[in-house]
Structure 1
């Protein structure tokens, strides 16, 4: 299993897809306790990475909207 530092190199889509696989494996319930804990920890890391990507995307959208409003361009969402 990749290390936590590897998680920081994943794109949003890669982290999300791996998280889906981890959750699926946990839901099967066939893993040992140790493996389940390892999967859970990996899932937490992946979820955090996805959240980081989403927070960053929101910040970029907010900045773009602020720039648009600051330039006098009408807000397309109205």
Structure 2
């Protein structure tokens, strides 16, 4: 697969997880992978999808925490639950 296939999913950046997920999906869509490997790829893909979703949610929460002043300029951060 890719170099990151050996990296634990929890250690991947959003970009690396997304790139590997695209590779996994491409291989599964081609249909030229043996059944056992397809199962492993599917499981890895599910983990990668979950990681990407978590990183996006984290980023959305950080953006939502940015407060603006009266002129619409970033003025600081407000605490966000869970961060």
TM range (shorter): 0.7 to 0.9
Structure 2: runs of 5+ lacking an equivalent: 74-83
Q: Match for residue 38 of structure 1? A: 40
1:25 pairs with 27, 30, 35, which one?
27
Q: How many residues align?
A: 69
1:63 pairs with 65, 68, 76, which one?
65
Q: Which runs of 4+ in 1 moved over 4 A?
A: none
Distance 2:72 2:42 in 1: 43
Higher helix share: 1
2:6 pairs with 2, 6, 9, which one?
2
* TM, length-normalised to structure 1: 0.80
Higher strand share: 2
